Amino acid sequence: MTDEDVIKASTLLNITSIEFIHKYLKHHEDIGLYIEVLEDKPCVFLKDNKCLINDSKPEQCRTFPYWEEYVDKNGNLLRRKFDRPCPGAKSK
Ligand code: SF4
């Protein structure tokens, strides 16, 4: 998550950015702050197939599946199936 993502999501949840980071995020030295999503552990913000922070979800979720590795040079999707798509990525 970018700093802006953290600020938006923490504001939406009415907690401080520091609280949000400590409570919900992991850190990796190569990619920075992220929400952990595992095969047997869906995102903590996924509830009833909807994203609880939909209005402030991270860019990676907002833009899924139109990621660089999934589109051609014209922006067309190269595939239709994805391994573990989050249902919340499409929720409005
Ligand atoms: S779209 Fe899915 S992975 Fe992204 S924040 Fe929402 S629930 Fe989590």
Percent of the chain with pLDDT over 90: 57
What lines the ligand 1 site, CB under 6 Å?
Answer: 35, 37, 43, 45-46, 51, 53, 57, 61, 86, 88-89
The mean pLDDT of the chain is: 89
Cis amide linkage into residue 58, ω under 30° from 0: no
Measure the CA–CA gap between 23 and 6, rounded to whole angstroms: 12
Distance from C-alpha of 92 to C-alpha of 88, rounded to nearest angstrom: 8
Report pLDDT for 80: 82
The number of the ligand 1 atom at minimal distance from the alpha carbon of 89 is 1
The predicted model gives 26-32 an average pLDDT of 94
Q: 89: pLDDT confidence band, cut at 50, 70 and 90?
A: confident
Rounded mean pLDDT of 45-53? 92
What the block records as the tokens of 77 is 């999707």
Say yes or no to pLDDT of 46 above 70.
yes
User: How many Å apart are CA 67 and CA 84, to the nearest integer?
Assistant: 14
Q: What is the pTM of this model?
A: 0.82
CA dist., res. 66 & res. 31, Å (int): 19
Distance 74 CA to ligand 1 centre (A): 26
Residue 71 has pLDDT above 80, yes or no: yes
Of 1, 10, 23, 35, which is best to mutate to test ligand 1, by the most ligand atoms within 8 angstroms of its C-beta? 35
